[in-house]
Amino acid sequence: MTETDSSLDTLARARPAPLKALGERLIGALGDIEVIQSRTGLVMLPMRDTAHGTAFHLGEVLVSEAHIRARGIDGYGMRRGRDLEAAMAMALVDLALSLEVEPEACRAFIAAEAKLQAAADDETLRKVEATRVKMETF
Amino acid sequence: MAYVATRGGERAIEQAERLFRAEMGRIEKARVAELRAALPYLIDRVMGEASLYDEDLAALALAQTGGELSEAVLLLRAWRTTQPRLATAEVIEQDGLFTHRRISAAFKDIPGGQILGPTLDYSHRVLATEVLQGDAFTPDPVTPAQAPAPAHQPSVSTWQAENELVDLPEPDPAKGGDIPDLTREPLLFPSRRAHTLQSLARAETGGVLALGYAAMRGYGQAHPTVNELRLAEAEIVVTHPDGRRFSAGRVKVSEAEVVDKKGEKLSLGFAATFGWNEIKCIAAATLDLNSPGAEKGAPTEEEFFLYHTEGVESSGFCIHFKLPHYVTFQSSLDAMRDAKAKRAAKSGEPAQ
């Protein structure tokens, strides 16, 4: 499995409203920001075929992307779906963490969202586990 | 032959479109949200065939076309062309799938066990007519287990390889822009495997089922057994400008692996698609299993099934027959009348 950055993973799935609120709060503290990209677009998603090992394209996913820069440091956000403000908020939090701007607030937000996401996954998987077949052999 | 320019249809065309749209009436955001929430499997089917993953867009396409699936898929495929491609994600590997359903019909005791997940496979199909009388249908809630299922399930074929039942393939090293892409290259035959699987992933469900079913009924060389069927969520792993990799979110995917039992080892057929659509995957994997060595013109021959299951092309070709063919049809009638006249003249000739 691919190793990923857990903070960015969490931000990409964070609830839009609280994420936007945090992003809004960070704008003033970050100072001048250059917006390099703020757009929707597609990410092509390939998959591995288990029969022959071939990589092939399943199709494209709609995403929102934000790429910003301040003091020579990049902030980046990409989230599934059509929400440019949420992608921008993700980029602002990412940039704030890199520049150590309100890092405690950002880390606390990410930790809280990660906990919610883990709880949601746990709930889903406990329901999935309820459908496990307990085989008996006669 | 020449085309005859005709006029006078503009008003009729405009009113015809209005008449079509009048049935759906005013479309608001709430209707799109309701469709998305109420019809997740239809949304999945449309996203798979459109080869574009976004539930809101799929729901909007359904709302706008009144559920005319060919039109909905066409709308989404057309809209897709307005968007730039920002990246190609990392290749989804089976062991990274957040799995909701994983079963095997070939082996009972597969590693990780049989997880039914969301399914009506073993349920009575009874129409809840009481809803029409005003009584709501409220499904019984799931009783969650104490402990969660593992998020990731092991591969059945890897376990089979350990037991010398299958040969595991070498992973294809292609990634990113090196992976063949049907949306940018033509489908040529013999088809590259990446093109075949991409084409099946975006194929029309009914078409795939019809041809896959033909193979299952005996018009193919191999009878399938479902080795592994998964409904899962896959991470979209992309790269930050500074090189860090992260998941931009999850999408629902289905995959099926079917096996043939001829020979000393099992041979595998595979298919996958966006969304949860297991019938399409089983039928498509059956076509994949049957295609090696299939005769030209057989439903299991790749050119036959790939061309005939492409939903936008096939529906487009079908509906084009409704468009005016006045000149070509008139020309054919002229030829028929001419032949008839010649035959009559010949029969009227005095016998030699």
Nearest CB among A51, A80, A125 relative to B236 is that of: A80
**pLDDT(B106) > 70:** yes
Kindly list the domain boundaries of chain B, sorted by start residue.
Answer: 10-80, 94-116+149-314
Nearest CB among A48, A125, A131 relative to B116 is that of: A131
B142 touches chain A (CB under 8 A): yes
The topology (CATH level 3) of A7-129 is Double Stranded RNA Binding Domain (3.30.160)
Other C-beta atoms closer than 10 Å to the C-beta of B188 total 9
Nearest CB among A56, A59, A121 relative to B179 is that of: A56
Say what the pLDDT of residue B1 is.
Answer: 46
Best CA proximity match to B284, nearest among B229, B233, B232: B229
Report d(CA B72, CA B62) in Å as an integer: 6
pTM for this one?
0.94
Band of residue B4 on the pLDDT scale cut at 50, 70, 90: low
Structure tokens at B47: 């996203």
Residues in chain B closer than 8 A to A12 (CB atoms):
246-249
**pLDDT(B25) > 70:** yes
- Mean pLDDT is lowest, of A11-25, B15-29, B315-329, for B315-329
A55 touches chain B (CB under 8 A): yes
Best CA proximity match to B212, nearest among B198, B201, B224: B224
If you search the block for the tokens 């931009």, which residue do you land on?
Answer: B248
Report d(CA B296, CA B273) in Å as an integer: 26
Report d(CA B327, CA B340) in Å as an integer: 20
CB A81 within 8 A of CB B60: no
B98 touches chain A (CB under 8 A): yes
Cβ contacts below 8 Å, chain A against chain B, sum to 268
Q: What's the mean per-residue pLDDT of chain B?
A: 93
CB pair distance less than 8 Å for A130 and B274 = no
Partner residues linked to B239 by β-bridges:
B245
- H/E stretch holding B103: strand B98-103
Say what the pLDDT of residue B145 is.
Answer: 97
Question: Chain B: nearest CA to A134, how far in angstroms?
Answer: 8
Residue to test with chain B: of A6, A19, A47, A129, most B Cβ within 10 A: A47
Nearest CB among A78, A125, A130 relative to B151 is that of: A125
Q: What is the DSSP string of A52-112?
A: T--EEEEEEEEEEEEEEEETTEEEEEEEESS-HHHHHHHHHHHHHHHTTSSHHHHHHHHHH
pLDDT digits (tens, 9 = 90+) for B55-65: 999 999 999 99
If you search the block for the tokens 């990049």, which residue do you land on?
Answer: A74
Residues in chain B closer than 8 A to A87 (CB atoms):
none
B78 touches chain A (CB under 8 A): no
Dihedral pair phi/psi, residue B234, rounded to 5°: -115, 145
The beta strands (E) that lie in B262-344 are given as: 267-274
Other C-beta atoms closer than 10 Å to the C-beta of B41 total 11
Nearest chain A residue to B196 by CA: give it. Answer: A56
Question: Chain A: nearest CA to B25, how far in angstroms?
Answer: 25
Best CA proximity match to B219, nearest among B272, B282, B285, B297: B297
Residue to test with chain A: of B247, B251, B281, most A Cβ within 10 A: B247
Burial (Cβ within 10 Å: 0-12, 13-18, ≥19) of residue A114: middle
Q: Is the peptide bond before B190 cis (omega within 30 degrees of 0)?
A: yes
pLDDT digits (tens, 9 = 90+) for B294-327: 999 999 999 999 999 999 999 999 999 988 888 8
B50 touches chain A (CB under 8 A): yes
Kindly list the domain boundaries of chain A, sorted by start residue.
Answer: 7-129
- Mean pLDDT is lowest, of B1-5, B48-52, B337-341, for B1-5
Structure tokens at B239: 């790269």
- Mean pLDDT is lowest, of B29-43, B129-143, B331-345, for B331-345
Compute, in degrees rounded to 10, the torsion defined by CA atoms B178, A12, B49, B303. Answer: 20
Other C-beta atoms closer than 10 Å to the C-beta of A12 total 26
**Complex ipTM, two decimals?**
0.96
